[in-house]
Amino acid sequence: MENCSNIEEVLEALKDRGAPPEGQWRMPFAEKYRMRDVIETLGVPDPSWIDEYGDAHFPCLTIQQSLFHRADDIRRGGEGWLWLVEVVD
């Protein structure tokens, strides 16, 4: 997938691969799969989490932590990203 700089670009690039899952997916995913085997950051492309300043965030997982990342700035130090999508047959 091309290098995306915000969540809108990610959603556009993923539209043919699956739908963004809605809801609390980051912790169930982390419990089922071992994040220590993943070098990249895993993002859930659901920018519905709004902070007290009105900024949209989306959930993500790294090897060390579970956090929310700003939807308008995805590039972080050249890190690669994996995106969780719901695939429906």
- Residuewise pLDDT in 10s, the chain (89 residues): 557 777 888 888 888 888 888 767 777 877 777 766 666 778 888 878 888 888 888 888 887 788 888 877 776 544 577 888 887 76
CB contact burial 55-72 (16+ within 10 A = b; e otherwise): ebbbbbbbeeeeebbebe
- The confidence score (pLDDT) of residue 78 equals 43
- The confidence score (pLDDT) of residue 21 equals 83
- The confidence score (pLDDT) of residue 75 equals 64
